[in-house]
């Protein structure tokens, strides 16, 4: 997690979350056969739209894709021929258990989430937010910490067992950080508060232990803080190498928060799988990322989000002049263009943890509009949010693609996104693992 703009598991807990959900809140899973007639169909692997494709679904997965498929006896038939049909979108950088008041501040809001809100209430709030991601067409989310002590694991398990509606979650548990986490001004005698939100590491051996701990308690990915912005601390290269080696032994990947060039270079040199943010990065560091196969998740924002943030930041908050907004957006757009030119694979992730008064899923999807404004084509943006993210998450062939063997994660939007980017906002149908959550036939 980083400041916008800087300008930018336990049994009792799961029982509490599940028991508090109202009856009928969850959607009954559908394992029967379904035939979908698609209009414009996005082939994310080839990066092209195809016409007149049908999708046969059985037992939560896609069984077959092709023209003029026949519906099996008793199958449900869904006609989406007037829509553009896409794989369910993926957000590779989110914090469902943390939502910050823009008028607050990262230290006070972070401490409040620990000592006032608490993990059980945070998870209940997150369960409500999770539904908004499905409504936005986001069916898979990589949740990267700021979830207390494994509250994200409990939420994932509640979604998986059908107690809560939400996207498929891959979770990290507490992020591995140098002392103090991301909370500037925290007094030394209260450092234990940060340790409730972050796994503070002390040297390479402890860093490797932290990986083992997180994996043992349910993490599927390791989140690290190469630097602690807005705090000044860094993890050492040796600590990050120890984390990467331990993660490989346990079969998980490493995502590195890194906001300046030094932090990006050190993390890429240490062998992480993805760099998150990289607000300031040199071309030479981008070349290192491309050489080492390190992806970039640019948690960029669009102009509408900047304006909304300003409105919500309070009378003493961020009140940019028009030229300041242009400068902020120009900087992130330049970085993204240079990354693409350098051959770095772009993955889509929003980091949209600020309470903008919008459903969080909708706010997160504005990230894709930021990519479009940087000059990426609609095809490139959709690939970032589907096939590229799937590869990053280790789910290639399972999500982010519409083909036999993949989970039946399918959305339909109204309009042609290549001609009208606002079509991404017009989600009319959402299916995850064969179950329809929006646009019931």
| pLDDT of 3 | 44
The 10 Å Cβ neighbour count of residue 419 is 8
Residues pairing with 142 in the sheet: 170
The 10 Å Cβ neighbour count of residue 269 is 16
Can you tell me the mean pLDDT for 81-99?
97
Q: How far apart are CA 361 and CA 133, in angstroms?
A: 4
| Residue 27 to residues 31, 93, 159, 160, 440, Cα–Cα distance (Å) | 12, 25, 11, 12, 11
| DSSP-derived pairing of the beta strands 54-58 and 61-66 | antiparallel
Q: What is the mean pLDDT of the chain?
A: 92
Can you tell me the mean pLDDT for 71-95?
97
- pTM comes to 0.92
pLDDT tens digits, residue range 253-294?
Answer: 999 999 999 999 999 999 999 999 999 999 999 999 999 999
Q: How far apart are CA 127 and CA 17, in angstroms?
A: 8
pLDDT tens digits, residue range 179-195?
Answer: 999 988 888 888 888 89
**More confidently predicted of 310 and 406:** 406
**Domains, in order of start, for the chain:** 34-87+403-438 (2.30.40.10), 89-392 (3.20.20.140)
Confidence of residue 322 (pLDDT cuts 50, 70, 90): confident
**More confidently predicted of 313 and 42:** 42
| pLDDT of 316 | 81
CB 382 within 8 A of CB 42: yes
Confidence of residue 25 (pLDDT cuts 50, 70, 90): low
Give Cβ neighbours of residue 180 (< 8 Å, ≥ 6 apart). 186, 191, 194, 200, 228, 231, 233
Task: Cis check for the bond before 230: say yes or no (omega within 30 of 0).
Answer: yes
| pLDDT of 441 | 54
Can you tell me the mean pLDDT for 300-307?
94
Q: How far apart are CA 337 and CA 370, in angstroms?
A: 12
Q: How far apart are CA 199 and CA 174, in angstroms?
A: 6
pLDDT tens digits, residue range 239-249?
Answer: 999 999 999 99
> If you write DSSP's letter for every residue of 204-270 in order, what string do you get?
HHHHHHHHHHHHHTT-SEEEEESB-TTS--B--HHHHHHHHHHHHHTT-EEEEEE-SHHHHHHHHHH
pLDDT tens digits, residue range 108-160?
Answer: 898 899 999 999 999 999 999 999 999 999 999 999 999 999 999 999 999 99
| pLDDT of 27 | 86
Q: Is the pLDDT of residue 10 over 50?
A: no
| pLDDT of 83 | 97
| pLDDT of 1 | 52
Q: Provide the H-helix boundaries in 65-222.
A: 106-112, 118-135, 151-160, 191-194, 204-216
CB 371 within 8 A of CB 298: yes
Looking at 217-221, 302-306, 322-326, 389-393, which range is the least confident one?
322-326
Confidence of residue 440 (pLDDT cuts 50, 70, 90): low
């Amino acid at each position: 997690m980083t400041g916008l703009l800087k300008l930018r598991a336990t049994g009792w807990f799961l029982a509490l979350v599940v028991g508090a959900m109202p009856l009928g809140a969850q959607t009954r899973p559908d394992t029967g056969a379904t035939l979908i007639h698609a209009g414009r169909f996005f082939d994310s692997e080839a990066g092209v739209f195809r016409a007149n494709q049908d999708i046969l679904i059985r037992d939560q997965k896609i069984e077959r894709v092709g023209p003029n498929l026949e519906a099996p006896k008793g199958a449900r038939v869904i006609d989406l021929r007037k829509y553009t049909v896409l794989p369910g979108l993926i957000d590779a950088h989110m914090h469902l258990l943390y939502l910050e008041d823009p008028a607050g501040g990262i230290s006070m809001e972070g401490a409040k989430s620990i000592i006032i809100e608490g993990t059980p209430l945070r998870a209940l709030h997150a369960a409500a937010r999770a539904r908004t991601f499905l409504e936005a067409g986001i069916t898979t989310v990589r949740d990267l910490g700021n979830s207390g002590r494994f509250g994200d694991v409990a939420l994932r398990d509640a979604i998986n067992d059908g107690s809560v509606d939400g996207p498929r979650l891959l979770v990290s548990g507490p992020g591995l950080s140098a002392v103090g986490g991301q909370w500037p001004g925290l007094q030394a005698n209260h450092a234990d508060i940060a340790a409730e939100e972050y796994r503070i590491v002390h040297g390479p051996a402890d860093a490797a232990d932290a990986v083992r701990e997180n994996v043992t308690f349910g993490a599927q990915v390791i989140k690290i803080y190469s630097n602690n912005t807005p705090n000044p601390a860094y993890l050492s290269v040796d600590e990050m190498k120890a984390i990467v080696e331990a993660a490989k032994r346990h079969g998980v990947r490493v995502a590195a928060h890194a906001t300046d060039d030094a932090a990006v270079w050190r993390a890429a040199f240490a062998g992480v799988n993805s760099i998150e943010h990289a607000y300031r990065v040199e071309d030479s560091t981008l070349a290192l990322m491309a050489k080492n196969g390190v992806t970039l998740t640019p948690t960029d924002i669009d102009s509408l989000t900047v304006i909304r943030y300003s409105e919500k930041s309070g009378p003493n908050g961020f009140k940019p002049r028009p030229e300041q907004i242009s400068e902020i957006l120009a900087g992130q757009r330049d970085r993204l263009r240079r990354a693409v030119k350098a051959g770095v694979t772009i993955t889509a992730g929003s980091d949209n943890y600020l309470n903008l008064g919008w459903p969080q899923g909708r706010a997160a999807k504005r990230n894709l509009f930021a990519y479009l404004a940087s000059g990426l084509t609609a095809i490139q943006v959709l690939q970032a949010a589907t096939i590229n993210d799937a590869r990053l998450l280790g789910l290639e062939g399972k999500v982010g693609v519409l083909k036999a063997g993949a989970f039946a994660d399918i959305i339909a939007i109204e309009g042609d996104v290549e001609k009208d980017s606002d079509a991404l906002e017009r989600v009319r149908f959402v299916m995850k693992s064969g179950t329809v959550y929006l646009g019931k036939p």
